[in-house]
């Protein structure tokens, strides 16, 4: 057999599988394709991871906001209960002892009770002898005196507190209804939710400075312990706090996340507001000159920021170093 014949047979055996079975040939991916697939998969993984992180941050923010609202509500309830407890103790002649490092709490009750021993004796005497002598004055007739003593104790206790911003009951409110005063073109008539069972009626002279649409459904800071006063036939039960100059007035804004009923505090001052400010004492008038916005638009008292604990400061929109009233 010749060499040419042998060579031809060998080549035929090598080429035979590819010629008779073309489907058995496998196409392997190139290195470039493998690298491209890896990059695409890595991008998908990074996208999923970033979405998970964003979802986690959003859930945490919602949880924090919910906890802040709950904490603010609890603080409001605790302060209300504390004020009620103090009033009850004073009405029963209990002495109020100030806590350390505070500005004192109702300490004048001690002096009031100690300087009237004869009144206490007069109250106690009818209780021991009504059966022995039925003609004596019944104990019920002595109740007005007891109430008068309690009221005097409350008044005297409040008068002994320092005259500062802590005496002002400022809270966050939401205007739920607003319109023009029927008898005054320059006045708004508002219904404001202050976190109480019923909204307060408030009359504000803001028509010339704030458009009606900007007053609707907005959060405001409300001074709640002014004595109610009639303004053109409508009783106003509070005052909307504003930053003001002779030419411009801006309604103060509570911090983000604030809700109606949140209490406004001032750094460095104990919040212990009067039930109702005594007009003769001119407490608000004394505090007013020191209520101003600062260079950062933050409402302050003697430079200390007004704020809602855990939520932020009370601010004006544009008025710096302006009076707050």
Is residue 214 domain-shared with residue 313, that is, in the same domain? yes
Decide if 232 is inside a domain: yes
pLDDT value for 80? 83
Q: What is the pLDDT of residues 95-128, one digit of tens each?
A: 767 655 444 444 333 434 344 444 343 444 444 4
Q: Are strands 304-308 and 291-293 parallel, antiparallel or unpaired?
A: unpaired
Same-domain status, 190 and 155:
no
Please give the average per-residue pLDDT across 18-29, as a whole number.
Answer: 57
Kindly report which listed range (128-132, 144-148, 190-194) carries the lowest average pLDDT score: 128-132
189 and 97 assigned to the same domain: no
**Host H or E run for residue 203:** strand 200-204
**pTM of the full structure:** 0.54
105, 214: one domain: no
Same domain, 299 and 186: yes
Cβ atoms of residues 175 and 201 within 8 Å: no
Q: Do 240 and 120 belong to one domain? A: no
186 & 247 share domain: yes
**Looking at the domain assignment, is residue 5 inside a domain?**
no
Residue 8: Cβ within 10 Å count:
10
Query: What is the count of structural domains for the chain?
Result: 2
- The CA-based diameter of the chain, rounded to the nearest angstrom, is 158
Domain of residue 238, CATH code: 2.40.50.140
Q: Are residues 258 and 157 in the same domain?
A: no
Q: Tell me the residue range of the domain where 76 lies.
A: 59-124+138-161
Question: Is there a domain that residue 72 lies in?
Answer: yes
Supply the pLDDT for residue 83. Answer: 80
Asked if 232 and 295 sit in the same domain, the reply is yes
């Amino acid at each position: 057999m010749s060499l040419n014949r042998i060579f031809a047979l060998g080549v035929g055996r090598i080429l035979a599988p590819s010629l008779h079975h073309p489907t058995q040939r496998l196409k392997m991916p190139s290195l470039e394709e493998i690298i491209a697939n890896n990059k695409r998969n890595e991008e998908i993984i990074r996208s999923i991871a970033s979405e998970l992180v964003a979802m986690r941050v959003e859930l945490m923010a919602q949880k924090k906001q919910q906890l802040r609202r709950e904490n603010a509500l609890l603080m409001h309830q605790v302060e209300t209960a504390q004020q009620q407890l103090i009033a009850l103790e004073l009405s029963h002649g209990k002495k109020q002892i100030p806590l350390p490092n505070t500005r004192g709490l109702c300490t004048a009750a001690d002096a009031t009770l100690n300087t009237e021993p004869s009144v206490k004796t007069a109250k106690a005497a009818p209780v021991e002898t009504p059966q022995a002598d039925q003609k004596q004055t019944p104990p019920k007739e002595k109740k007005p005196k007891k109430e008068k003593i309690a009221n005097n104790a409350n008044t005297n206790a409040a008068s002994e507190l320092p005259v500062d911003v802590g005496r002002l009951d400022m809270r966050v409110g939401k205007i739920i209804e607003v319109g023009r005063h029927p008898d005054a073109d320059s006045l708004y008539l508002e219904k404001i939710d202050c976190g109480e069972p019923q909204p307060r009626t408030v009359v504000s002279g803001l028509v010339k400075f704030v458009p009606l649409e900007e007053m609707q459904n907005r959060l405001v800071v409300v001074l709640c312990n002014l004595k109610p006063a009639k303004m053109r036939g409508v009783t106003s039960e509070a005052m909307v706090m504003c930053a003001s100059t002779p030419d411009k007035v801006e309604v103060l804004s509570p911090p983000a996340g604030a809700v109606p009923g949140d209490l406004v505090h001032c750094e460095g001052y104990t919040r212990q507001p009067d039930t109702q400010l005594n007009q003769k004492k001119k407490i608000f008038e004394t505090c007013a000159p020191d209520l101003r916005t600062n260079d950062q638009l933050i409402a302050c008292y003697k430079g200390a920021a007004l704020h809602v604990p855990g939520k932020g400061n009370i601010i004006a929109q544009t008025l710096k170093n302006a009076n707050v009233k």
